[in-house]
Amino acid sequence: MTFPVFRPLAALLLVTAIPALAQERAPSTPQQFIFFGRDRARIGESTFLTNPAIAGAQLRYTWRELEPARDQYAFQPILDDIAVLAAHGKRLFIQVQDATFSETLPVPDYLRSEEFNGGAERKWESGDRDGSGARFDGWVARRWDAQVRRRFAQLLDTLGRVADARIAGINLPETAISFDNGGMPPRGYSPAEYAAGIKALMTAARHAFPRSVVIQYANFMPGDSPPSTPFLRDVYAHAAAIGVGVGGPDILPFRRFQRANSLPLIGGRPVNVLAGMAVQDGNLRDVNPATHRRVTVPELYRYAAAELHLDYIFWGTEEPFYTEEVLPFLLTHTSPR
């Protein structure tokens, strides 16, 4: 496979108080979406619906709720959300969730059988080398398991038949996972098998939604050791090869780990590859170590447009930032239609 050329991290230069990546492209004009997550009822809020700068909503639906039983699909909530948004000139961006950050399972019950090797695995935040200090971090579908992937691909294909071209786009959730709890890794798992599984799921999503934007949130990959990130680079190269966009769940320009992994790949992607990122809880609380001040909405927007060249920004609703800063700012930055 031929890899696209990605620019390395630049020195920590200050551009509007945010460290810059080496760039040659002009700033983008991202479409602005509001990330309501699973809080679907909020798409009826007047402050959202009447804001002409907002292109639409990004909503999260779990695999478990979309396929409550084997081969039985529940897509009516998505169709209802499409209709509500369309009536106000706005569009839906779907995130199909096969991972959680709690005890809640993301997969249907039938996948928990031996036929699918349990269907999902517990994730753990990294602790010490012996596994002490590891923290339970939720569940993830067995993305490296071909049997499980086939079921997820069927879900996407079935959903695509009713929603493709009716939505603004669909994104697959973040690639970052860890099983670092000092025990044996899950059955069949390896960083290489995991990377192969991620690429297969990207291909399945592209096939299921040929007329919609498809984005893979690719932030970190297990098995990488920055500054060497071969698995993550391979995911980005595959995205470019099959016409899938890239991005991630957090715009955190000051974090060293983000700057050593996904940020330079997003900012340095080929010009024909779309990108979208979310401003989620905590992002607007981050402090610039150079100024010792909290990042502002205009600063984060300028970084997203001038350094990352994003096509989509999904703004979270963390307060007081959403009401006091995000919505007023977006009124002056109308999304392209």
pLDDT tens profile 170-188: 999 999 998 876 678 899 9
Burial class, 187, CB count within 10 angstroms (exposed 0-12 / middle 13-18 / buried 19+)? exposed
Q: 13 lies in a domain?
A: no
Residue pair 37/15 in contact (Cβ under 8 Å)? The answer is no
Q: Is 33 left (phi over 0), alpha (psi -120 to 50) or beta?
A: beta
Q: Which two tokens stand for residue 52?
A: 């002409």
Give the CATH number, domain containing residue 288: 3.20.20.80
Q: Which two tokens stand for residue 156?
A: 């996407």
Rg (CA), the chain: 19
CA angle 164, 169, 170 (to 5 degrees): 90
Domain assignment present for residue 22? The answer is no
Query: Is residue 232 one of the residues assigned to a domain?
Result: yes
State pTM to two decimals. 0.90
Residues 6 or more apart whose Cβ sits within 8 Å of residue 132: 182
Specify if 282 maps to a domain.
yes
CA distance 326 to 305: 16
Number of domains in the chain: 1
Residue at 189 is within a domain:
yes
Residue 94 phi, psi dihedral angles, 5° rounding:
-95, 135
What is the domain extent for residue 278? 28-330
Residue positions counted in the chain: 337
Asked whether residue 16 is assigned to any structural domain, the reply reads: no
Q: Report the alpha-carbon angle 137-173-32, nearest 5.
A: 120
Mean pLDDT of all residues belonging to the chain: 90
Residue 312 lies in a domain: yes
Kindly report, residue by residue over 268-321, the tens digit of the pLDDT: 999 999 999 999 999 999 999 988 999 999 999 999 999 999 999 999 999 999
The pLDDT of residue 332 is 85
Tens of pLDDT along 113-170?
999 999 999 988 765 554 456 787 789 999 999 999 999 999 999 999 999 999 999 9
Flag whether 260 is in a domain. yes
